[in-house]
A and B are shown apart, each in its own frame.
Chain A
């Protein structure tokens, strides 16, 4: 019996003679048997979660990714770049896992926190090879799902430090951050190659890089606003004022974290805590409001140091403000 016939026989309900199945029923059976419903449900859920602006493109990428997983990475489709051939064996496999993890991390913006957290979890499990292999037998939930619902990272597993650092590097460069700007951040976040990175640290690193990429893009835009494109680089006095305002705002928001910690120590009301936090963030955003910024900039125009500041210098200074607030890993 050929493969096809076997499949057809399997599709038929066991008690029913082959000829009598009505067409809609057999279609339904076929879809159920082939798992099309689950396949599409998974795709739609992912798509709705990510709220991509290009849903068709999203589905194309999603199914291509799934196909490359089930085909063992042998085939890329359409406009996808061909899978890296060359270094065979473990290196290629690891690269493939890294690509898939990055793909998951790209799916949702970090502001959609629950979707993002899910994707971080999936990425962590993909990279946490030893843990995954150990659990694969117990949880046959598809090649792409999280390996288990249990506590992640428990039991001594973890992503290899080198792989973790590589993930962060890719995230920053994909986020449009120049390597020179992200290097100091990665220095703070990176782990040694031999270390096993637990889930908490992994999530912290990934989230920080995602936020950092956004922050740098905003900083670049801010510089573009400060300088007039026709008149060359922006004046140093203006830039310093803007950076100063940014620093004030960051300090205000950080101060609120400190306050909250204090409150937590004194075991005060949790809703009060949340209110204080919100108030701090509001104060911080008021400090960088266009109105406030404009006022300080008007003041700066008349005094302050002369000369200009170029885009790169501004970006570095803004990055430094961010990076000094990132806590050291390990």
Chain B
């Protein structure tokens, strides 16, 4: 508790805290499921709601607009995704864009394809986006893309202006819809002018990005980290810059959703649990431990029409705090 914080006016404090957003959502959810939550107890409902926001369990099965609404929600979603699916990384399975999207849709029914495609462009450096990706590569790029989406869009505009030889000072931060067009335009341009493949002057981009950060309202990676990355080479392309950002440990720590790359797949307690389960299952001859997990996941999107079940699932979550609680404890 900061002793100087009393100087902040109440309205500023409320606006900065984003707490009104959560209060608003809590009441909206309450009205959607009036009867259920009235029985549950209103005070208890609000207690559960804010506890789940605090513990980052609140984004499960919520709509994408909710997930991207605050930086805390974005970080929470990244963490939930990692917790739910890190076993895939462990098995060394490589998945495609559509498969990753299916996984994401298990957690967020309307998760858009574009975000997954943008992530794939970071991993695969803009070429051959139908290639398969490892879980580790994907999740760090996904983290960058989801958490800093608006900033990355701004950088892309600057980059394209620099490529075209224009002065990038008049950059307007794009809305999310126009980004796709911009990206495809960029792709075409790259094909046309092969010599531009190696990108733009790092120092120029660094200056422009610095200027962008100064007037940027949304969050962005620390300027020191970006400077460090851009000082390493003379020329840089947009996607190699993003790739370096996604692999930067200090940026990862700032977001605080994922462990360091070395530890991203380590989870001894979960392994023990799985070993136990597998030992139980392997008694029956029809099961196959190695391939079955991903096979089941690939089929999952077809089977699950999550919208229909969201209501039910949320209730279970509220009543028992269900499986997420278990994974929580296994981490510590």
Contacts and interface: CB of A to CB of B under 8 A. Distances in A.
Interface stretch (A40-48, A132-140, A268-276, A287-295): A40-48
A36 B27 contact: yes
29 contacts: A4-B38, A7-B35, A30-B31, A36-B30, A39-B43, A40-B27, A43-B46, A48-B14, A50-B1, A51-B1, A51-B5, A53-B1, A54-B54, A56-B22, A56-B54, A57-B50, A60-B50, A60-B54, A63-B44, A63-B49, A64-B47, A66-B47, A75-B44, A77-B51, A78-B48, A78-B51, A109-B1, A109-B3, A111-B3
B19 A55 contact: yes
Contact of B50 (A27, A56, A75): A56
A3 B31 CA distance: 18
Given A66-B43, A77-B51, A78-B55, 10 more contacts: A51-B5, A53-B5, A60-B50, A63-B46, A70-B44, A71-B44, A75-B44, A77-B44, A78-B48, A78-B51
Interface of B: 1-3, 5-6, 8, 10, 13-14, 17, 19, 22-23, 27, 30-31, 34-35, 38-39, 41-44, 46-55, 72, 321
B38 A34 contact: yes
B42 A59 contact: no
A183 interface: no
A27 B14 CA distance: 25
B13 A48 contact: yes
Contacts of A79: 51, 55
Contact of B43 (A47, A53, A70, A108): A70
A70 to B, nearest CB: 6
Contacts of A36: 27, 30, 42
B57 to A, nearest CB: 9
Contacts of A50: 1
A47 B47 contact: no
B13 A78 contact: no
A43 B55 CA distance: 19
Contacts of A67: 41, 43-44, 47
A82 B28 CA distance: 30
Contacts of A59: 19, 22, 46, 50
A39 B6 contact: no
Contacts of B55: 78-79
Contacts, number: 105
Contact of B23 (A27, A40, A77, A112): A40
B19 A34 contact: no
A31 interface: yes
Contacts of B49: 63
A56 B23 contact: no
A40 B13 CA distance: 16
B50 A3 contact: no
Contacts of A64: 47, 51
A55 B47 CA distance: 13
Nearest to B37: A34
A109 B6 CA distance: 10
Interface string A163-179: 00000000000000000
Nearest to A34: B42
Contacts of B23: 40, 44
A66 B47 CA distance: 8
A52 interface: yes
A63 B19 contact: no
Contact of B19 (A8, A30, A56, A111): A56
A66 B48 CA distance: 12
A218 to B, nearest CB: 12
B17 A55 contact: yes
A57 B1 CA distance: 12
Among B17, B38, B50, find the residue whose CB has the most chain A CB atoms closer than 10 A: B50
Contacts of A66: 43, 47
Nearest to B42: A34
Contacts of A53: 1-2, 5
B3 to A, nearest CB: 5
Among B19, B41, B72, find the residue whose CB has the most chain A CB atoms closer than 10 A: B19
Among A48, A66, A79, find the residue whose CB has the most chain B CB atoms closer than 10 A: A48
Nearest to B32: A27
A44 B27 CA distance: 14
Contacts of B38: 4, 7, 34
B19 A47 contact: yes
Nearest to B70: A56
B137 to A, nearest CB: 32
Contacts of B30: 36
Nearest to B20: A44
Nearest to A51: B5
Contacts of B8: 51
A8 to B, nearest CB: 8
A229 B292 CA distance: 56
Given A50-B1, A53-B1, A59-B19, A31 B47 contact: no
Sort A-B residue pairs by CB-CB distance and give the 10 closest, nearest first: A63-B47, A78-B51, A60-B50, A55-B17, A51-B5, A63-B46, A55-B19, A59-B50, A67-B47, A60-B51
Interface string A129-171: 0000000000000000000000000000000000000000000
B27 to A, nearest CB: 7
Contacts of B5: 51, 53
A120 to B, nearest CB: 16
Contacts of B3: 109, 111
A4 to B, nearest CB: 5
